[in-house]
Structure 1
Amino acid sequence: MKFGYTLLCEQTPPKQLVDDLVGAEEAGFDYSVISDHYFPWLEEQGHSAYVWSVLGALAQATDRIPLMTFVTCPIMRYHPAVVAQKAATVGVLSDGRFTLGLGAGENLNEHVVGRGWPSADIRHEMFAEAVEIIKALFGGDYVNYHGRHYTVDSAKIFDLPDRPVPIGMAAAGPRAGRLAAEHADALVSDQPLGDVVEVFKAGGGEGKPVYGQIPVSYGTDLDEATGRAHRIWRFSAPGWKVMAELPGPKAFEAAAQTVRPEDVTEAVPCGDDIERYVRAVQQWKDAGFTHISFCQTGPDRQKEFRAWAEAHLLPELRERFA
């Protein structure tokens, strides 16, 4: 397995994101992922920088560590032709270290352009068309496209990396898993869904990477780490079907009012007991995931997490999951 470091734009100022990834590269993480939002889920998280500006800085500030969006929605806030251009540019700036992670999005971020929020069926249709456009533009030729949802008029990307940017597609159900198997170089999920991984493999994804993410709350004081996890991650307890539909941070706050700390810690390893983290990784490995990134809770706790991960967590995980 490969172990990555998550840059969470929604909790961290943009300049610190760059410093954190430099530190993660020095600590020996295998790769990195970064979120792409317009809003944080909760206002108290306090940030949400434009990820493509940050990616340019990350590409120049680091030398080795692979970069990946986790994930970009190419169906409303961004036109897919523009996503293709942005991704190709980051691919060039990073000397081929960039993977474009794509997903069908959340109302939270996409409603800002004033087009409403389509049903899940329509979003999947839009997603499939968007990926077709992006892949065609990565080919380097002029592209004309006339679909149900998008039109592209004689578009061409002039700055492309030596090899096309790999595409990862997010899936939380069998339909999205089949779509990823048809179009993607990798599968992405924020849940350890073994059935979706099997659909992906059976549809043509056998041997391709499968990316997951574990939110964690490292700290030597377990009670403090648990409280911190609850403050930052309580928004996620209602599950993806609810999260995809909520329109803003106030709605997430309302949905999370009854979430208890113990509801959060079921999915978020807390404290400094490595066995908690090993058990979490084992669950994802059993579901067929090949890549796991860790999203440490709290912008002020990144440095101490990286030091602990370098000295203890990463060596232990590599020994057990080689």
Structure 2
Amino acid sequence: MSNTLKLGFKASSEQFAPQELLNYGILAEKIGLDSVWISDHFQPWRHTGGHAPFSLSWLAALGAKTERVVMGTSVLTPSFRYHPSIVAQAFGTMGCLFPNRLILGVGTGESLNEVPASGLLWPEQRERTLRLKESVRLIKTLWTQDRVDFEGEFYRTERATIYDKPDTPVPIYIAGAGPVMAKYAGTTGEGFICTSGKARELYQDKLLPKVTEGLEQSQRSNTEFDRTIEIKLSYNTDKQQALQDTRFWGALALKPEEKMNVEDPLAMEQLADELPAERAASRWIVTDDADEVVEKVKPYVDMGFNHLVFHYPGPNQAEFLTLFGETLNTRLRQAFG
């Protein structure tokens, strides 16, 4: 994928039932967006009104119902609930069904998803990082070699072969919120993923320079690497409604130490609901003005992000997508494209 501007839609799997969510993904293609992304959650951020469809089944359904939109996970953890070889098989199959339309976005994981499904003791960040790196190495090996004997610290295979895989391996994008993972994305991945709404210095001084450092270290093209960011956008013709819509996603405003090792959606929901509306909205662009959206998005583009994935928090996603198509799709491409 090239370094040209791309606009995407974050399908909120934590908020909507599978068929409803599928309709939104189809609509995203119809209004002209380039990509659709889904989180791979076993449990949502909140229990009341929450959903957690299986992302891989959902992506296959979306691929069958659309023609051109690129689909990805933002993000999937290939190192706990799944053995990396199963992830390699799943994305190999989908890569055959939908060639050049799939991205495997991966991250180190969250206890909210991995612990309830497995009962495991949630490891420290160092082990989670090592597991992710080993998982990616095994997945890439299985996509490029046959009869793989792999002996890692965490995973092993014996004469393993992925028989159905696309001619061109599915690109892997690495998600990260710190410089270590950003550099790893540059050295190993085909793209980098992060989320908006944090201090500018994090992106400008820590994350993106480390991505570039990793690319230079691996002697790979800077222009063929996607710098992807999920833009938290509550855009509604009613600004007060836009503010209130962010409350469903109040957990995103919690500090890492406030939600660390919280593994129960009911507990996470309670923490989020205790926040005032203004703090729940702190990670979001909240507006009723299309020009203000362009103004608030511009700093991310200026820093170097080229793949903008818009996440809308409200219940009426179809209304948002229609409004986006009418007022923002062309406006953003003309401003930055």
Task: State the TM bucket, normalised to the shorter chain.
Answer: over 0.9
Give distance in 2, aligned partners of 1:90 and 1:78: 17
The answer on 1:47 being equivalent to 2:51 is yes
State whether residues 140 and 158 of structure 1, in contact with CA within 8 Å, keep that contact through their aligned partners in structure 2. Answer: no
Question: Identity of counterpart residues, as a percentage?
Answer: 33
1:226-305 matches, cutoff 5 A: 226-230=243-247, 232-240=248-256, 242-243=258-259, 245-299=261-315, 301-305=316-320
- Residues 263 and 57 (structure 1), Cα distance of their counterparts in 2 relative to 1, 3 Å cut: same
Aligned equivalents of 1:244, 1:52: Cα separation in 2: 27
User: How many residue pairs were aligned?
Assistant: 320
TM-score by length of 1: 0.94
- Does structure 1 retain, via aligned residues, the 8 Å contact 2:245–2:314? yes
Q: Aligned equivalents of 1:48 and 1:71: distance in 2?
A: 13
TM-score w.r.t. length of structure 2: 0.90
Give 2:61's aligned residue. Answer: 57
The answer on whether the counterparts of 1:96 and 1:162 sit within 8 Å (CA) in structure 2 is no
Paired letter, 1:203: G
Deviation of the 1:240 alpha carbon:
4.8
Q: For the residues of structure 1 that align with 2:257 and 2:335, how far apart are their CA atoms?
A: 34
The root-mean-square deviation of aligned C-alpha atoms, in Å, is 1.7
Deviation at 1:121, TM superposition (A): 0.6
SS of equivalent to 1:116: coil
Q: CA deviation at 1:257?
A: 4.3
Letter in 2 for 1:260: P
Q: Which residue of 213, 231, 238 corresponds with 1:202?
A: 213
Report the secondary structure of 1:153's partner residue.
strand
Contact 2:287 2:293 (8 Å CA) reproduced: no
For 2:103 and 2:255, the matched residues in 1 are separated by 26
The superposition leaves residues 12-55 of structure 1 with CA deviations (integer Å, 9 ceiling, x where unpaired) of 11011221111111100011111110011011242110111111
1:142 counterpart = 2:147: yes
Q: CA deviation at 1:241?
A: 6.0
Q: 1:218-233 maps to which residues of 2 (within 5 A)?
A: 218-230=235-247, 232-233=248-249
Counterpart CA distance in 2 for 1:261 and 1:43 is 19
Deviations 1:59-101 (A, max 9, x none): 1000010001100001101111111111111111212200100
Tell me, yes or no, if the aligned pair for 1:108 and 1:244 is still in contact at 8 Å: no
Match of residue 113 from structure 2: 109
Partner of 1:214: 231
Q: After superposition, where does 1:131-170 map in structure 2 within 5 Å? A: 131-170=136-175
The structure-2 alpha-carbon separation of the partners of 1:290 and 1:45, relative to structure 1 and needing over 3 Å to count, comes to farther
- Higher mean C-alpha deviation, range 103-112 or range 90-99: 90-99
Kindly provide the amino acid, as one letter, of the partner of residue 280 in structure 1: K
**8 Å contact kept, 2:95–2:101:** yes
**1:216·1:229 contact (CA, 8 Å) conserved in 2?**
no
SS at match of 1:201: helix
Bigger shift: 277-286 or 42-51?
A: 277-286
The within-5 A match list for 1:14-33 is 14-33=18-37
Q: Which residue of 2 aligns with 1:76?
A: 80
1:308 counterpart residue number? 323
Q: Distance in 2 between matches of 1:288 and 1:74?
A: 28
1:174 aligns with one of 160, 179, 192: 179
Q: Aligned-pair distance for 1:263?
A: 1.7
- Kindly state the Cα deviation for residue 57 of structure 1 after the two structures are TM-superposed: 0.5
Q: Distance in 1 between matches of 2:164 and 2:259?
A: 36
| 1:125 is the counterpart of 2:130 | yes
- State whether residues 167 and 184 of structure 1, in contact with CA within 8 Å, keep that contact through their aligned partners in structure 2: yes
